[in-house]
Structure 1
Amino acid sequence: MNIIEGTIASPKGYYADGLHCGIRKEKKDLGWIVSTVPAQAAAVYTLNHVKAAPILVTKEALLANSELQAVIVNSGIANACTGKQGLAAAYETQQLIAAKLGIKSNQVAVASTGVIGKQLSMTEVKQGIVQLSQDNQTPAAFHEAILTTDTGTKEVVVTAEIGGQLVTMAGVAKGSGMIHPNMATMLSFITTDAKIDAALLSELLKETVDNTYNQITVDGDTSTNDMVLVMANGCADNQEIIVNTEDYLLFKKLFHFVAEVLAKKVAQDGEGATKLIEVQVQHGQTKEAARLIAKKIVGSSLVKSAMFGEDPNWGRIICAAGYAGPELEAGDVDIFLGSEQVLKNGEPQEYDAAKVQEVLEKESILIVVDLKQGEATGVAWGCDLTYKYVEINACYHT
């Protein structure tokens, strides 16, 4: 596997663009990804019972047809809780893209992100769609067009030889606040030129999301608009990837890598964040329990506040582990901040304060919790809770 510079349109047979159409005051707010041929596709969506109109439209399209050729995304307005008018706007957007490309409406996915409860102005959307380019001169503009409170774009591109051909996979994501996946105000799109069936792609996506995107948290809020969508157009002309083969295992490795990189970038870019926090839970009874405990720790407001204040308050860590749900024996638990052990068999340890301070001063902090129950592991990622987070969200709507 090689990591290369590139964009969401780096795999063969894709182009992308982004622009400012007027939904937002100045920043880019409309973008698309297009495959020149129908692509096998799969998606997972927010588990919030309140789902935005674009989620409903995209879900309907993929249920009717496992192929996509385009994704259209707007930022600034979430088109959530907007009733019949909002749903009509999502359908109209889908139809406008289909007409421009000469494809079926159910080959177009729609996504939105931004303020909940405001209607999407189709005047601006229509003008923007007319201007979206098909020459692939500015594909990185798509990365910018999907952002809201993000401080920067989040992308990764990898290549590997699969089935006798060079396969490329690219991923891009947005997300900074309202992040507590299953999933969050998070949109992520993955493109590849590999040849793989949609059913296998869907199975792999769901498994990968559980171990990556669904293991990040910023603030414990689950959005109405979350979506992770993948397209595989087969333009690499590799032999079709079949489950439980060497090619499949390598493709799975690429897919997990791309998803984990993007998930960690979302966590690190949490609103107002200054630190990325990684929690590793070792020797859990089950993988599900280990993942749950890791996510509960990294999502604790008290743990997050302590990391912001560079306070080695391990009591908050074991407290969060204890209320996560799965049973544990406090007398067995070890906790490490970086490589420094602060708790052993449930008892506090004398530690080198200077070394622990060095750990907590870093932009990336590792917390390790050993439960001594079994062989399962779980990892979760999050960020610190800062004054800036409150400032951003106190004024977000206005």
Structure 2
Amino acid sequence: MSQHTTIRRRVDPRAERAARTVLNGPRLRLLHQPVATATNERRRDPRAIRDAALVQRLPRPRYDWARDAASAGTVAATGHAVAAAPSIPLQVIAEPAYLILAMLDRPGGEVSEHDRQVIAAARLLADAGGGAVVTVSTGRGDVLAEAGSDRHVALPDGWAHDYVPERRAAAASALMMELSPRHILFPDSPDGGDVARRVAAAAGERLFTGVQSLGPDRATRQSAGGSLETGHRLTRLMTVAADAFAPLDGVRHEARPLDPDAPVIAGEEILPRLGGARRLAVDPDALSLSETDFILSAGNGVTDWQSFAELGEALGATRAGSRVVCDAGHLPRERQVGASGTVVSARSYVAFGIAGAPQHLQGIAGVRHVIAINTDLHAEMIKRADLSIVADAQAVMPALIRLIRERRHG
């Protein structure tokens, strides 16, 4: 039987007592634990840890806490930095079995949440049998790679700001003949629905609108105020309802540019043209909070209501407020944001002087970008915001108004 010799350092009680002594005098004061030695470990940043663990922002934040140490900038006890989290692998479909076209609105050249939802629905149909998603819109396609696009057909940039449904419909019809896609999906929006109906009328095919769920061979939608569910076999042309499919997150596709032939862009004469069409100016305050895309909100920290009104007009944003503001009569009750008011899902939400009560944070849970202006660095709204300005609202609002007017005149 072998014996193992264990070598232990001898404990020096005098050295330990000296390390625990914090006061010399008539009466010694000792710590219960010895003084910890200093290390080179960096302080952990809780915000960086939370951002590193975030895997899905909408419709509800989801976190993977196993990833927190990878990108939070922490240093191990050995002094070596922790390796960065692995990048998302690129998914390439070189030879797809079929194509799924996603005709996007992309209003003003920006990819909307509805556009991302349409790509997610197209991704379901493509992944079912080795197909590829072809996005069709104005602008570049590289920003659509993380939304699930395999190929991208770029339409002229001038179409992003003009109401040209006949041109988009002509391009969709030309792509139908050239690429022979299995399905074409449109956003079930005023513009997307208009284009979809024009394409269906020109092709003489059935259009299934308002799709809310997709299966291998069946699409469904709600009817009769949501009390009934209508199902239909998959048609070639379909429109996707808003908020029916969650946008993809944590994926990276190729989004390879696909150059269309000349008839795709020059084929606008295929369909009859709509003469004299133009977009009408709409008062942002006439829009309901559940429909607007840009909200300027005020809280108890706002006292200069004249500047608040001028800033809303300069930004073209819909004005709203917290419960305290509406209770005081500064804004009508239908302008209250929160669980007890209106739950909003705007793209941008600018909050002036709002502390961030729980019911108010519940009302903006679906907002994509939040900008907070508050004098309290530790306010809950500051923690929720993507961009924060620690300053007085009464000083920031006039400065923003001057900057907007200078840029417009310039």
Using the size of structure 2 for normalisation, the TM-score is: 0.23
Structure whose alpha-carbon radius of gyration is higher: 2
- Hey, which of these two has a bigger chunk of strand by percent? 1
Specify which structure has the bigger relative contact order, considering alpha-carbon pairs within 8 angstroms and separated by 6 or more residues.
1
